[in-house]
Amino acid sequence: MQRRKFIKGLLMGLASLSITSKVSYAKTYLTVEQAQKLLWKDARLTHFPVKLTEEQADKIAEASDIRVRNHKINAWKSDDNGWFIVDQVIGKHENIDLAVAIDNQGKVMGLEVLTYRETYGSQIMHPKWRAQFHGKDSSEYLKLDQQIKNISGATLSCRHVTDGINRLNHTWNQVLKVL
């Protein structure tokens, strides 16, 4: 009997661990509107979602040497052909929503991290885990935040973001330039 109790307790303990591992650290910064205002000042922006074809995605991947995960580009266009893009970058441990402003010459005018989510292991690559964040208002992530204001730790490289910007540069060059 004791043994059964022990095994039950052990299993429950393990189950609770697996539940907590679903909780991630998330932090929100600017909203999409705030980022638009900051990067494009008072310029009028029109929502201009773009869907890449297989061929275009392949070309971008080839030119930038970075896989194109999402063929849908959540973009806004300014009156003078500049772009404001909200994109997602998936690193080893982090999943980042990024806002990028590209002018009509293809130059990156500025970028902002909108949401920074962090987890460990395979969850981040798991489409189901990522799907829970799609199309949600960034304020919804706040409840995930574990009320820890600041974390000091070993320096995490931002290389994935640099790669993401490179991919968007090539996206502009291949697709957005002529739209």
Our CA angle for 104, 109, 114, nearest 5°, is 120
Residue 179 binds other proteins (CB under 8 A): no
Nearer CB in complex with other proteins: 156/179: 156
Phi-psi sector, 127: left (phi>0), alpha (psi -120 to 50), beta? alpha
The interface region with other proteins, picked from 39-47, 79-87, 115-123, 125-133 by CB under 8 A, is 115-123
**Residue 9: enclosing H or E segment and its boundaries?**
helix 2-20
Q: How far is the CB of 102 from other proteins (least distance, A)?
A: 16
Q: How far is the CB of 178 from other proteins (least distance, A)?
A: 28
Q: Which of 14, 131, 148, 178 binds other proteins (CB under 8 A)?
A: 148
Residue 19 binds other proteins (CB under 8 A): no
Amino acid at 29: Y
State the CB neighbour count (10 A cutoff) for residue 170.
Answer: 20
Q: How far is the CB of 54 from other proteins (least distance, A)?
A: 30
| β-strand partners of 45 | 78
End-to-end CA distance of the chain: 72
Q: How far is the CB of 59 from other proteins (least distance, A)?
A: 25
Q: How far is the CB of 130 from other proteins (least distance, A)?
A: 16
Nearer CB in complex with other proteins: 35/175: 35
Contact between residue 170 and residue 60 where contact means Cβ atoms under 8 Å apart: yes
How far is Cα 10 from Cα 85, in angstroms, rounded to an integer?
A: 48
**# residues near other proteins by CB under 8 A:** 30
Residue 143 binds other proteins (CB under 8 A): no
Exposed/middle/buried for residue 19 (C-beta within 10 Å: 0-12, 13-18, 19+): exposed
Q: Interface residues with other proteins (CB under 8 A)?
A: 20-21, 24-25, 27-30, 38, 93, 111-113, 116, 118-120, 148-158, 161-162
